[in-house]
Chains A and B, each alone.
Chain A
Amino acid sequence: MSNLFDDLSDKIKKINSFDDFEQLKLSIITDIHKLKQRDIVKDFQLKKYLKDKNIINSLLVKTSSDLHKVIEESRLRADELNILLNTIPAFVFFKDTRYRYVLVNKSFTNFIDLPENEIIGKTLQDLTFSHLLLSKYSMHEKKVLEEGVEAYNITEKLKKDNQTLWLNTNLAPVKNNQHEIIGLVGISWDITSNKIYEAELKKAKIQAEEGTKTKSQFLANMSHEIRTPLNGILGMAQILNDTKLTKKQKDIVNILTTSGENLLVLINDILDFSKIEAGKINFINKDFRLDKPIREIYDILSRRADEKGLLLYIKFDKNIPVYVNGDEYRFKQVVLNLVNNAIKFTEKGHIKISVEQVGLVEGRHKIKVSVEDTGIGIPEAKKKKLFQSFSQLDPSSTKQYEGTGLGLAISKLLTEMMGGEIGVESQAGKGSVFWFTACFKKGTPPEKVDREKTVERHKRFTNRKISVLVVEDNLINQKISSFSLQKAGMEVTLANNGLEAIELFKEQDFDVILMDVQMPVMDGYEATRKIRKIEKSLNTHIPIIALTANAMQGDAEKCLAAGMDNYISKPFKINKLITILNEIVT
């Protein structure tokens, strides 16, 4: 601009005559026009700048106050987040895509025992503290960063200050707005106490299992200890009953026998229940006629029903299979329990046992047995408790209706083991229908046996006087066995222990040996093994039946493993022994 002025001023200075003016007129006018134009532009620019300045200034002021507010708010928010981050009782970290720490929280720095500025920018490998299996852990981080997937519950074991620590870590990828992975965030926490607790739990579990085993053993011993004298009581009562007695004496013996038998049932129930609970019961599945156990129960209980004036009857549905495959004894046990209860809790009317097939599941017959009575019934609220262990409806009823309260609980466990259910429909005062279901595989009828031969063998056995070696240390039991067997027409020789038994076996011929298991000097197992060894050279085989109070699962196997042929638990009924003898000797 100054140049334009200078030019113009020079031109004006040059004007000395009118001619000069004429010559420079156009140039001067052009310059003046240019100056005017520039003036207009400058003037506008100035005004515009002023306007912009005012507008933009106020926008700036307003914006800066807005920004201040936003910054203040975000600072507060950041403070809160910081507090949150540093209060979390876990190690939180954020890493970039090159595995370098970008952010860590206080717990993290405390754990590593390094200030934050010595951690940021470093990788895990850079930090000397680490005793991790780096390769394994790094693999997880690599996967998170490369595939963008979360990794949960990475458990690592590490050593710090000579202590073993366990860390659990969750990792997640961090993405920007364009969904690109820009790093990962991780949270780890010390699970050492959990691990210790876990180990303690394991130990406790083993101890508990051992405890159960001990309990089982204790029960087995108990049963032995109780059954042995009980055997004595019952045996002697049986013998006493066979002598000449007055009516009063006979009544006393009857009460003695009944009480003893009740006690036996009680012991058996408790044993059964603990065996099932300990999972120590194995089902022995065989083909059997489905109606057989029901009819047997009818035979056993119809007299008791008669005595109470109750009508006991059975209804078999046409659709039931003749033969099934299952554990006949356990099936019978459940039915027996239900019918027993029905008789126990019914004062008048009837008890009906119905058997039907309610389904065919994967080729298995689903059999339903219902026991209907006209007894006292069960109130709705108490139905659920019914199948729990040690439960009789009314504690006070125990006096009227004796029992352990285990019957239904045992039945429930057994039906479950047979793939079925148990239940009751009842109205108080109107009677009940107890039912259960059980699933059985299809059974096949046994091959036809040569009836004549059996009869002949039976005759051969029963016609001759059988010589029995009874090995038993308990004097009372010796007496009971002798009496019973002699009464059944057998010849009895007694041995006090295994060693004596072996001597006698060597000297005499016996048809069968009844061997107690627990004896001083030499126990039954040992004696059996020795006898079998002797027999091996002679190529003979004498039937040995274990007489055992150990009714626990496993005892039978132990007896058979020792070389015995069968076993019978004390106190035994003479008829049962004879049946077994028949089976073995024939």
Chain B
Amino acid sequence: MKIHSFSAKTYDEFKEKLTGLISLNDFNPTLAFAFVSTSFPLAEIAKEFSKHNIKLFGETSSGELLFNNTESGVFDNSGVFTLLDINTNYFKLKLFKRRNSTSFDFGKQVGNFIVGHFTNPSVIIGASGLDLDGQRFVEGIKEIAGNDLVMFGGLAGDDGKFEETFVFDENTVSNSGATLIVFDNTKIKLTGMATSGWVGLGMNLTITKSDGNVVYTIDNKPALDVYLEYLTINVDDMPAIGLEYPLLIKRKDNIDALRAVTGIDKEKRSLLFAGSVPEGSTVMFSSSPGFEVVESTKSKVLDFADNNPESDLFLLFSCVARHLALGPMVEEEIQLVIDKWNVPIAGFFTYGEIGTNPGKACDFYNQTYTLVSIKEVK
């Protein structure tokens, strides 16, 4: 499996670099990953890949990252592109438009596609639309594909604007859809990990009124006002602050879930979250404990390296909150990957992650560093 990756500040730079790669003699890319700022002309990009008969997995981002042998860095308002020369029998790529279905039903629709291909599928997935309830979406997929499904991915971003996000393939761009690659896991092996490091702060609060991923009241007070009052912030600071200081939900299964704010309703004083926040659940505010969170991520990556010493390519779906909270230091936890494996790592900052920790069912997360290794089985 041959891999080439590059970043681009502009569409022209993208076009130029792509043309350069295509012209290489010994490189015939069949699949590409594109993580780009919403400032790029998405349809034009799609057309380029379509023209060269390359299947495209595209998502808009809230910051991009690429570390390979020639360049390394975390970017804003850029695009990161990874081209793979891979046997087309090893994967299926598909983009779904959500239309009017619920998050759960949409997940079921996607799940049906997954189980329709390969006896042992594994999945890279992306989804757009700020109103999507990531948790219910993943639950819908698992409802059909089962709890053993290995799946990684992220919810598309929009450069921190929280207005409109997109997924796209080589033919279509959708602001409310999902795109996925189903791999034949016997040929292409996906392994990975998801880690957060965020800690709870303050008192227990109770979600007194919610509907799916919309929270109306917390402790019988309007949800938006609770955020403004407890953190002493202005309404303009939302949802960005709500992303960096998400709610920690104390789940009954003892696996606490972090749920980041991805939207606000000033009229209804309600908050939109990236995943479900069940009515009656106990929550508390949370924060990154400081820059040592980077150390914690690094030690988890090293543990992962012990069990997965070889890889062809890494994708990273890292929460936009990590970008906000860690700033330039976010590079440290990414740099480690190329130092350790010496293979490219490409990715973007998301509005929610989907990951599978070893031995666990895949789940929907916020605030995490979700790393996935793609390795061709030889």
**Which B residue's beta carbon lies closest to that of A41?**
B328
Q: Could you tell me the distance between the alpha carbons of A66 and B204 in the complex, rounded to whole angstroms? A: 10
> Judging by beta carbons under 8 Å apart, are A44 and B231 in contact?
no
Is the CB–CB distance between A58 and B230 below 8 Å?
A: yes
Q: Secondary structure at chain B's binding surface: helix, strand, loop or mixed? A: mixed
| With A45-B291, A62-B202 as contacts: A54 and B232 at CB distance below 8 Å | yes
Within B219-255, the residues touching A (CB, 8 Å) are: 229-233, 241, 245
> What is the bound-complex CA distance between A70 and B245, given in angstroms?
24
With both chains docked as a complex, state the minimum distance between the C-beta of A56 and any C-beta of chain B, in angstroms: 6
Write the chain A residue with the least CB distance to B202: A63
Once the chains bind, are A56 and B291 in contact (CB under 8 Å)?
Answer: no
Cα A67 to Cα B327 in complex, Å, equals: 33
B329 touches A44 (CB 8 A): yes
Q: Could you tell me the distance in whole angstroms from the C-beta of B258 to the nearest C-beta in chain A?
A: 16
Q: How large is the interface on A (under 10, 10 to 19, 20 to 34, 35 or more residues)?
A: 10 to 19
- C-alpha spacing A54/B231, complex, angstroms: 8
Shortest C-beta distance, A133 to chain B (Å), equals 47
Q: Tell me if A48 is interfacial: C-beta within 8 Å of chain B.
A: yes
Residue numbers in A under 8 Å from B285 (CB-CB): 59
| Contact for A59 among B202, B328, B329, CB less than 8 A | B202
Q: Is B377 an interface residue (CB 8 A)?
A: no
Cβ 8 A contact of A41, one of B203, B245, B287, B329? B329
Determine whether B86 belongs to the interface, using a CB cutoff of 8 Å to chain A: no
Taking the complex as formed, is A208 at the interface, i.e. its CB lies under 8 A from any CB of chain B?
A: no
Give 1 or 0 for each of B303-335: 1 = CB within 8 Å of chain A CB: 000000000000000000000010111000000
Interface string of B257-301 (1 = CB under 8 A from A): 000000000000000000000000000010100110000000000
B338 on interface, CB distance cutoff 8 Å:
no
In the complex, A41 Cα to B203 Cα: how many Å?
32
A67 to B202, CA, bound (A): 9
Q: Which of A48, A60, A67 has the most CB of B within 10 A?
A: A48
Are B327 and A48 in contact, CB atoms less than 8 angstroms apart? yes
CB–CB A62/B229 < 8 A:
yes
Mark interface residues in A58-88 (1 if CB within 8 Å of B CB, else 0): 1110110011001000000000000000000
Interface string of B56-93 (1 = CB under 8 A from A): 00000000000000000000000000000000000000
Residues on B with beta carbons closer than 8 Å to the beta carbon of A45: 291, 327, 329
User: Could you tell me if A63 and B329 are in contact, using CB atoms closer than 8 angstroms?
Assistant: no
Are A59 and B327 neighbours in the complex by a CB distance under 8 Å? Answer: no
Instruction: Please determine whether B203 and A67 come into contact, CB atoms closer than 8 angstroms.
Output: yes
B232 to A44, Cβ gap below 8 A? no
Q: Is B201 part of the contact surface with A, judged by Cβ < 8 Å? A: yes
A52 at the interface (CB under 8 A from B): yes
List the B residue with the shortest CB-CB distance to A38: B328
Determine the distance from Cα of A52 to Cα of B198 in the docked complex, in whole angstroms: 13
Chain A, residue nearest B291 (CB): A45
> A44 with B327: in contact, given A56-B201, A62-B230 (CB under 8 Å)?
yes
Q: Which residue of B lies closest to A57 (CB)?
A: B232
Q: A54–B232 Cα gap in the complex (Å)?
A: 8
Kindly list chain B residues whose C-beta atoms are within 8 Å of the C-beta of A56. Answer: 201, 287
Whole-angstrom CA separation of A62 from B203 in the bound complex: 9
Smallest CB-CB A-B distances: 9 pairs: A58-B232, A44-B327, A63-B202, A66-B203, A62-B230, A55-B231, A59-B202, A41-B328, A63-B203
A contact set with B: CB distance below 8 Å: 37, 40-41, 44-45, 47-48, 52, 54-56, 58-60, 62-63, 66-67, 70
CB-defined A-B contacts under 8 Å, sample of 25: A37-B328, A41-B329, A44-B327, A44-B328, A44-B329, A45-B291, A45-B329, A52-B287, A52-B290, A55-B231, A55-B233, A55-B241, A55-B245, A56-B287, A58-B230, A58-B231, A59-B202, A59-B230, A62-B202, A62-B230, A63-B202, A63-B203, A66-B203, A67-B203, A70-B203
List 11 other contacts, CB 8 Å, given A45-B291, A55-B232, A59-B201.
Answer: A41-B327, A41-B329, A44-B329, A48-B325, A48-B327, A55-B231, A56-B201, A59-B231, A62-B229, A63-B201, A67-B203
